[in-house]
Structure formats: C-alpha cells, structure tokens
Amino acid sequence: MSYGPDTRVERADGSRPPEYLLGNCRGERPWLLDRDPDGCSQKLKLLTRTATNTYFPQVYTVISLPSEEDELARLVDSLSEELTNVHSASDVATSKRFNPAVTDAGASAKPAEFDVFASGRAEIGLNQPNAKLYAQTVSREVWADPTAGVDLTAIKHLVAVHRLREVSCLYGFTRFESAPTSADGDLEDVQLAVRGAPIARDADWLPAIEQFGEGIFMHFDEAAIANWLTQDPTQARHERLTAGHRQWATRFAGSPPKYPGTAYVLLHSLSHALMAEIALDCGYPASSLKERVYALSGVAGAAPGRCGILIYTATAGAQGTLGGLVGTAPRFAHMLRGALERATICSNDPVCADHEPDDHSGDRATHGPACHGCLLIAETSCELRNLFLDRSLLVPTMSINGAAFFSTPNPGGVMG
C-alpha cells in the first residue's frame, strides 16, 4: 500500500507524474497476508526495492529508571484490569479518550527520566551488576575547569551515567516518508502526511529490545534559558524558526507536528555539536552515540521548566559499557569549548551561515544555519530525524549575531 503523502494528479504544466500512470493501489498488505478491507485510494508509486525510504520504523524508546522510582510501571500495574480487553492501537486510543487514568499512563516518560537525572543526588540508583540505572552527580570542581575559558554558569549539574538500560519498542512503520517524532516524547496519535501501517492484524504484543550502555547528562539552568528567550535577538530568531515551521507544516495532510520550542532548538543544536566533539575524545564512533533532549514545559508556549541533555550509547552487548563516555566528565569543559569553536565557522560557510528557515521548502525549512559540515549527524543518532537545528543559537556566526546563548570562543582561551 502507499503509506505516503497524497500524489498530486497534475503538475504545474498540466502533465501527470509517472506514478499516476501506474494505477491505483489494490490495498495489498503482504506483511499481513491480506488486503485492506477498506481499500486504498492512493496511486501506486514507483520505488526501487532497495531504496532507503522503502520502510521507516516507528519506534518508541524509554530509559529504564530505578524500580523504586518507576512511576510508569506502577501505573501500568494498577491498570491491568482496565487494559484486559485492549487488543489494538485503536482500543488504546479509545481508552485514553475516556479513561483519565489510562491517559496518565500513556504520558511521556521524559519528565520522569529528567527528574531522576536532575535530582542532584550524589548517587542515583544502585551500583549493582543487575541494576537498570546507576549514575553519579559529578562534583563541580571535577568538571568545571576554569582554564577551559568557557562560561559554565548555565549548567547546573553534570551526571556520569555509569549504567543505563534503553528499551525500544516497534509499534508500526511508514513508507516513502518517516513519521515526525514528538520532541516531548509523546506517542504519535494523529494521522499526519504518512499513515503508520500496523505490524499485525490483531496485535496483542509488540517486539521490543533492551540495550545497555552509559552516558553523560547535563542539567541546564532553566532560569538562564528563560531569560535568554526574552531577549530581542532571540525573539527575532524565534520568529524566523516558527515561520519556517509553518511552511514545513503545510506538507502534512492532518494535524502537523508542534513546534518544539526555541529552547529545544538550542539544546538540540548543542547536543549535536557535543556529540561530534565527544566522539573525537571518547573512542566511540559518532554513529553509536544517541541523544535525549529535555526541554519540557507543562504549559504550551511557556518557557521550559526542565532543560537537559543526555548523550549516551547503548548496544545489545558489552561495548556500550566500556566507560568511554563516563570518562569524558573531567574533560567536559574543554569538550564544550571545542564544540562551540567548531560551530562558529562551518566548512560550508558562508552558504550555511546565510541559510534561513522561512524561505526554503522541505525539511530545510526547520533549520537555521545547519548542514552536514557542522550540526547534522547520523539520523540513527538523532531523536528528531535531524530537524530543528540552528547553530546561530549557540554562538555568533558570520551572518547572525546577538541571538547566541554562548559567547564567541577566542583563540587565546577566553570566551569573549
């Protein structure tokens, strides 16, 4: 079936696209060994069998928390009777609509993850071989090296995550175009430009995998970010980014994904810059690193009340727990400085620096200055498919000045 955007019948010159000549989709679902009883009104599209956009998995990922703090597990246990007759995703949606308790259980796991990492406790979890999570809040004297010449006042805590467990669940797939991911970690319920395909007719279980690894977590001062958001240059960048989002959202047939917020764009851009820098230091390849960006607000449009970044690696074997990421904690200030220096000048400048989101189409409409020479990384490492990035929010570029959260790195070792 054509799980993709609607095909336009005619081009501007009046001609029809080649795929229109292929006829209508017959509704065949070979992975379910049947045909869609509702039929399909989409036109067939020509697609190479080995094309990279043949299938896009829809995966939901959470970080396991210590058992005594796993509120989500307690909610699910308490709802075991209410969920007895749930047999499909549509049943879950109905339950969420009419049962507030199910709605609470279906909320994003990100706030709970953030609260555990940002607790400020010296030790988080238990240092045991079978522990799901063990982390230590690193003393500021260890990681905030003043000789690095970078302003670290906006970072409240640095947490070395010695052991973590990532659980990923496959709940569907799309074709031709990947479904947008929610920045706050909520499951995608609405039908957008792509319609997710079920992986079974009557799914009573979903395939999931657990992976083990390590990471570092940065807790940012929410007040500092809120103050930065109120400044005029930041507001100007916010207007350009939201204009680009509005243009990008026109490609969706249903309710478009929400703009994640300019604070999210800042943290997301910094996460990508740090991942590239950390990979040069820790020994893990850049493609093995992953991110969880926390810019969470309880009120739509308000400044986020939780701001943080988790950069981690996780594999099914022991490679994800070799200590390379945790070992970078004492060198964090120098790595941050290196990441900001690299973001100041891109190898594709001035073309990259001149890019504005509101005058482009496609995914480029969600970006400020960002390209494969500076901020774009492997899509398997990014939680938001390389969307919503802008390095002018990090440091001044040759085209945009004033909206940067950090100062310009100077060769002499002082942030000016």
Task: Annotate 324-352 with DSSP letters as a single string.
Answer: TTGGGGGGHHHHHHHHHHHHHS-TTTTTT
Please check whether residue 250 lies inside any domain of the structure: yes
Helices (H), 140-297: 140-143, 222-229, 232-249, 262-282
Residue 202: its pLDDT value, please?
72
Residue keyed to tokens 């995703």: 89
DSSP letter at 7 equals P
Below-70 pLDDT ranges, the chain: 1-21, 67-107, 179-196, 253-255, 298-301, 317-320, 408-416
Please check whether residue 34 lies inside any domain of the structure: yes
Instruction: For residue 400, give every residue at least 6 positions away whose Cβ sits within 8 Å of its Cβ, in sequence order, or none.
Output: 237, 353, 368, 369, 392
Clarify whether residues 24 and 158 are in a common domain. no
Instruction: For residue 52, give every residue at least 6 positions away whose Cβ sits within 8 Å of its Cβ, in sequence order, or none.
Output: none
Contact by Cβ (8 Å): 212, 165: yes
As a residue count, the chain comes to 416
Clarify whether residues 308 and 185 are in a common domain. yes
Residue 101: its pLDDT value, please?
62
Clarify whether residues 92 and 30 are in a common domain. no
Q: What is the pLDDT of residues 298-308, one digit of tens each?
A: 666 678 899 99
For the chain, the domain total comes to 2
Clarify whether residues 379 and 313 are in a common domain. yes
Clarify whether residues 251 and 309 are in a common domain. yes
Q: What is the pLDDT of residues 311-332, one digit of tens each?
A: 999 887 655 577 889 999 999 9
Please check whether residue 398 lies inside any domain of the structure: no
**Rama region for 129: left / alpha / beta (φ>0; ψ in -120 to 50; rest):** alpha
Clarify whether residues 122 and 161 are in a common domain. yes
Please check whether residue 381 lies inside any domain of the structure: yes
**H or E element at residue 74:** helix 71-78
Please check whether residue 102 lies inside any domain of the structure: yes
Residue 352: its pLDDT value, please?
93
Clarify whether residues 243 and 353 are in a common domain. yes
Clarify whether residues 139 and 191 are in a common domain. yes
Please check whether residue 99 lies inside any domain of the structure: yes
Residue 5: its pLDDT value, please?
43
Query: How does 110-130 read in b/e, with b if 16+ C-beta sit within 10 Å?
Result: bbbbbebbbeeeeebbeeeee
Contact by Cβ (8 Å): 141, 124: no
Clarify whether residues 36 and 169 are in a common domain. no
Please check whether residue 218 lies inside any domain of the structure: yes
**H or E element at residue 89:** helix 89-98
Residue keyed to tokens 């009419």: 98
Whole domain around residue 84: which residue ranges? 59-393
Residue 379: its pLDDT value, please?
86
Clarify whether residues 29 and 90 are in a common domain. no
Residue 13: its pLDDT value, please?
54
Clarify whether residues 17 and 66 are in a common domain. no
Give the phi and the psi of residue 289 in degrees, each rounded to 5.
-85, 150
Please check whether residue 408 lies inside any domain of the structure: no
Query: How does 230-250 read in b/e, with b if 16+ C-beta sit within 10 Å?
Result: eeebbeebbebbeebbebbbe
Clarify whether residues 186 and 114 are in a common domain. yes
Instruction: For residue 9, give every residue at least 6 positions away whose Cβ sits within 8 Å of its Cβ, in sequence order, or none.
Output: 16, 20
